[in-house]
Amino acid sequence: MMESPTVLRDYNAPAARSLRERDPARGVRWGRFALIAVALTFMAAFLFLPLLVVFTQALAKGAGAYLAAVSDPMAWAAIKLTLMVAAIAVPMNLVFGVVSAWTITKFQFRGKSTLITLIDLPFAVSPVIAGLTYILIFGAHGWFGAYLQAHDIRIVFAVPGIVLATIFVTFPFVARELIPVMQAQGKDDEETALSLGANGWQVFWHVTLPNIRWGLLYGVLLCNARAMGEFGAVSVVSGHIRGLTNTMPLHVEILYNEYNYAAAFAVASLLALLALLTLAGKSFLEWRQPELRHGARLKRRNSEK
Amino acid sequence: MVSSRARRRPVIPGFGLTLGYTMVYLSLLVLIPLSATFIRSFGSGWEHFWVVVTAPRVMASLRLSFGAALLAAAVNAAFGLVIAWVLVRYSFPFKRLLDAMVDLPFALPTAVAGIALTALYAPNGWLGRSLQPLGIRVAFTPLGVVVALIFISLPFVVRTLQPVLEELDKDVEQAAATLGASEWQTFVRVILPALWPALLTAFALAFARAVGEYGSVIFIAGNMPMKSEIAPLLIITKLEQYDYAGATAIAAVMLILSFTLMLSINALQSWTLTRNGGA
């Protein structure tokens, strides 16, 4: 694509040649190779090698050690807890994402852009602070600490706290992907259905939902990856009780800090596989619906104006 | 005319219900917990807040968190631009795979990234081994913090620049070339000026993500107080010592800085769009 200017330049070749004293096309080609080499080297050092390290370290002590680490009862407890937390947090944020996107894209009201900013807020908050906020409310010295203790309800250092922290950090994911999709589709379909006598629920179920299904899946996929992998926020509220409040990332940390590297990387490799599956799913959905690609967010801001 | 047509359209139901649900859910899970942090941190008085925040160890951790995040965002702005450029403009084998891999830091849990980077950059690791003779120590130093932050914030730069690069008008570049500008001159005089707002937004997004990061950093940092201890870790340390006032004070400082940043990113993004002619 960079060739055309060079071709143009060759028409007044004598002047151009004497000025530049070399073949400009060759310069362009070398520049291109150099840039591709820089990009590949940077990506290798920061993306590919780390990923490769996870799998080689996981298998460093052989397949037997790998299987033992992955099938350890404590690892299983962590896997089950991670799946359970995601099974609660993702649907909660899925419902919120659909409902908030409906409000934002189907109606005009004052303060809409403030509402969008507030939904994005959890992205600007350190995960550690997200965990801290729930300690301040539900912890022993928190606002409801005394009440919860008196009624023997455990939220912090127990599963409910982990779920809350996970919901917080994955809060904007579904809404953020759905809003641009629903904005692009407008509300003509819904209005037509309504004028034909459908009720609100029928419109949502038979008109809106089929229209947004790929965007919805996309949001759920990203939300789920973060929910299963969250570390900072969960670390603050979990209390690290083995077999009870240890999620997979926390289990990786414990094994690692015990210098049990092969086992730590074995459990980590399961999470890395999840990441690769997420990327594959993401690419598939972007292929199904190209608007989902990275440009969507900028375009969304644009259409709000 | 527009309003008369709008009046004939059927009214989509559910405004009160969906707005109400959105507000309640948002308040219960995000707004009230966050305000708790501010109420608690200023609850013990300004004086105490100031004493906590200006303690040398806290100052050192804030300096590291913000300094390393700035540096990582700057490195990513440069190399992220190269990656975005290569992915948008050139074609080469496995390009789609590389493009998909840019999102790895979004998808890979931070704890996994942390132990992987540590293994890679430790003195006996694949890359650490070759850096050691050069006198460069990455793992267990502040440089390790920067490496981890580069990893987690890279996609923000690439994904912000890609759509802008895709929509750049190539006619202007060809015009510059026809007028005798070299590749480099065209880049500096034509492309870069059009890219500035997006580059700034990308930098700010990367910085915002990096500054609060915890999971990937704590493994590679070594976590020595005053040296390689990040602010989020100090929050956790203070929590474990039941120093709630101390933990919330640091959290409040970070929140205020992050919110300021987020508002400037929003302003930057609308500037980017006006600069690009709303394309």
The answer, for B270 touching chain A at a CB cutoff of 8 Å, is yes
Measured in degrees and rounded to the nearest 5, phi and psi for residue B137 equal -110, 125
Instruction: Assign 3-class secondary structure to B210-275.
Output: HHCCCHHHHHHHCCCCCCCCCHHHHHHHHHHCCCHHHHHHHHHHHHHHHHHHHHHHHHHHHHHHHH
Average pLDDT score over residue span A258-275: 96
- Its pTM stands at 0.89
Give the H or E element holding residue B49.
helix B46-53
pLDDT band of residue A299 (cuts 50, 70, 90) is very low
Q: Is the pLDDT at A98 greater than 60, yes or no?
A: yes
Where residue A157 falls (left for φ over 0; alpha for ψ -120 to 50; beta otherwise) is left
Give the H or E element holding residue A195.
helix A188-195
Nearest by CB to residue A46, choosing from B89, B151, B235, is B151
- Model pLDDT for residues A63-75, shown as the tens digit of each residue: 999 999 999 999 9
Most B-contacting residue of A102, A104, A126 (CB-CB within 10 A), to test interface: A126
The answer, for B214 touching chain A at a CB cutoff of 8 Å, is yes
The better pLDDT of the pair A86, B45 is held by A86
Q: Which amino acid is at A86?
A: A
Instruction: Count the Cβ atoms, other than its own, within 10 Å of residue B80.
Output: 29
Task: Write out residues 58-117 of B within 8 Å (CB-CB) of A.
Answer: 79, 82-83, 85-87, 89-90, 92, 96, 98, 100-113, 115-117
- Model pLDDT for residues B60-95, shown as the tens digit of each residue: 999 999 999 999 999 999 999 999 999 999 999 999
Determine, for residues B18 and A16 on separate chains, whether the beta-carbon distance falls below 8 Å. Answer: no
Average pLDDT, chain B: 90
Average pLDDT, chain A: 87
Q: Is the pLDDT at A28 greater than 80, yes or no?
A: no
Determine, for residues A229 and B79 on separate chains, whether the beta-carbon distance falls below 8 Å. Answer: no
The answer, for A185 touching chain B at a CB cutoff of 8 Å, is no
Determine, for residues A249 and B159 on separate chains, whether the beta-carbon distance falls below 8 Å. Answer: no
Question: Can you spell out the DSSP letters for A135-174?
Answer: HHHHSTTSTTHHHHHHTT---TTSHHHHHHHHHHHHTTHH
Q: Please compute, for residue B81, the number of CA atoms within 13 A of its CA located in the half-sphere on the CB side.
A: 17
Quote the radius of gyration of chain B (alpha carbons, Å).
23
Determine, for residues A253 and B258 on separate chains, whether the beta-carbon distance falls below 8 Å. Answer: no
Task: Write out residues 165-204 of B within 8 Å (CB-CB) of A.
Answer: 166, 170, 173-174, 177-178, 180, 182-183
Return the pLDDT at B8: 63
